[in-house]
């Protein structure tokens, strides 16, 4: 499928449909013959589609693509970077917080997900978009909070959000009122409350970032999963995302209060058994990983205490 135009110079290229994750999305921004690719997708999808789309729009991948920009380094968005770089020669840009997993994809499994030995083994034959059997690549530019990214004269402000992962950034254009929101908003289709954060992420940082992003004038909200959102629909996505964090933390606290004490696996078990699971459970690592980050944040906030992997209320 070719690129779909969202607004002048703004295109979305749809990747493969993968269960919980919905369709993974890549974006093209084109201005004055300069093209930025935002989040190239997995090693396989959209892959060639991106290059075909650029050609169908009348441009040359090698001559017109001036930037490959990543909201973060997760395999479902960074897997296609090395191939795209080879085809375009364009510089690859990511925040330093996620550069290590871009350079060495295997570190995503080792450092970013809560996995036991069996889980790590399962990831070796993983068929989901989180598989890491692709070539790593060194970024050409490390993005910093407040950087001004210029594509054909249009400015994109780099905003470090640090919620979904330590290196997560979003890109905002004050001229277009467009926000490339990566996985920080609409991490999953259908329900803005659903999310996961990796072990380097933070629920409290995500909450702060979402509150400040919700104050921007946004007419085009462009997440890396799910469909894009336009105009009045956008406020609802932020309200939903913030409610999702609150509900998830409440669910964790409720389990600990009911059990008096609990470890990560017990909390995951109870949350799955209970109603309203906010984290899709199609991938075995995501719920325990997010619980683990929530426990760290709630402990830092003085609400929980940890002793040898068991949490109790303070
Ligand atoms: Zn992600």
The model's confidence at residue 275, banded by pLDDT at 50, 70 and 90, is low
76 alpha carbon – ligand 1 mean position (Å): 7
259 alpha carbon – ligand 1 mean position (Å): 31
pLDDT at 121 over 90: no
> What was the pLDDT predicted at 190?
77
Instruction: Give the pLDDT confidence of 22-34 residue by residue, as tens digits.
Output: 888 999 999 999 9
126 alpha carbon – ligand 1 mean position (Å): 16
* Tokens encoding 252: 């964790």
164 alpha carbon – ligand 1 mean position (Å): 7
Give bridge partners of residue 34 from the DSSP assignment. Answer: 31
The pTM is what?
0.94
281 alpha carbon – ligand 1 mean position (Å): 15
Domain ranges of the chain: 4-241, 252-313
31 alpha carbon – ligand 1 mean position (Å): 27
> HSE (CB half, 13 Å, CA atoms) of 230?
3
72 alpha carbon – ligand 1 mean position (Å): 7
Neighbour count for residue 258 (Cβ, 10 Å) = 10
187 alpha carbon – ligand 1 mean position (Å): 7
71 alpha carbon – ligand 1 mean position (Å): 9
* Tokens encoding 302: 């003085």
Give the integer Cα–Cα distance in Å for 19 and 226.
Answer: 12
117 alpha carbon – ligand 1 mean position (Å): 22
Q: Which of 53, 16, 23 lies closest to 37 in space, CA to CA?
A: 53
The model's confidence at residue 276, banded by pLDDT at 50, 70 and 90, is low
Give the integer Cα–Cα distance in Å for 244 and 121.
Answer: 31
Question: Does domain 4-241 correspond to CATH entry 3.20.20.410?
Answer: no
> What was the pLDDT predicted at 1?
66
Those residues with Cβ within 8 angstroms of residue 217's Cβ, 6 or more apart along the chain or in another chain: 174, 177
73 alpha carbon – ligand 1 mean position (Å): 7
32 alpha carbon – ligand 1 mean position (Å): 30
306 alpha carbon – ligand 1 mean position (Å): 27
Q: Dihedral sign, CA of 5, 8, 9, 10?
A: negative
The most confident of 6-20, 87-101, 275-289, by mean pLDDT: 87-101
77 alpha carbon – ligand 1 mean position (Å): 7
Instruction: Give the pLDDT confidence of 51-101 residue by residue, as tens digits.
Output: 999 999 999 999 999 999 999 999 999 999 999 999 999 999 999 999 999
291 alpha carbon – ligand 1 mean position (Å): 16
């Amino acid at each position: 499928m070719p690129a779909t135009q969202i607004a002048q110079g703004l295109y979305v290229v749809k990747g493969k449909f993968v269960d919980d994750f919905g369709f993974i999305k890549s974006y093209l921004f084109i201005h004055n013959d300069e093209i930025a690719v935002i989040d190239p997708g997995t090693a396989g999808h959209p892959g060639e589609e991106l290059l075909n789309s650029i050609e169908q729009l009348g441009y040359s991948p090698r001559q017109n693509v001036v930037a490959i920009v990543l909201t973060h380094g997760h395999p479902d968005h960074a897997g296609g970077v090395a191939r795209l770089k080879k085809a375009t020669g364009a510089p690859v840009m990511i925040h330093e917080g996620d550069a290590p997993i871009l350079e060495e994809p295997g570190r995503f499994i080792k450092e970013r997900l809560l996995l036991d030995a069996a889980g790590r083994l399962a990831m070796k034959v993983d068929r989901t978009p989180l598989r890491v059997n692709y070539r790593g690549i060194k970024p050409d530019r490390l993005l910093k909070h407040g950087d001004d990214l210029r594509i054909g004269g249009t400015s994109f402000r780099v905003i470090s959000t640090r919620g979904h992962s330590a290196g997560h950034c979003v890109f905002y254009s004050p001229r277009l009122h467009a926000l490339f929101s990566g996985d920080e908003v609409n991490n999953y289709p259908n329900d803005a409350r659903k999310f996961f954060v990796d072990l380097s992420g933070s629920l409290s940082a995500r909450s702060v970032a979402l509150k400040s992003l919700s104050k921007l004038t946004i007419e085009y909200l462009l997440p890396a999963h799910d469909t894009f959102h336009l105009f009045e629909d956008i406020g609802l996505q932020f309200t939903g995302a913030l409610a999702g964090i609150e509900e998830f933390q409440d669910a964790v606290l409720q389990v600990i209060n009911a059990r008096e004490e609990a470890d990560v696996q017990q909390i995951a078990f109870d949350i799955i058994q209970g109603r309203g699971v906010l984290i899709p459970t199609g991938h075995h690592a995501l719920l325990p990983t997010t619980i683990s980050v929530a426990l760290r944040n709630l402990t830092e906030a003085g609400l929980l205490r940890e002793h040898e992997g068991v949490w109790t209320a303070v």
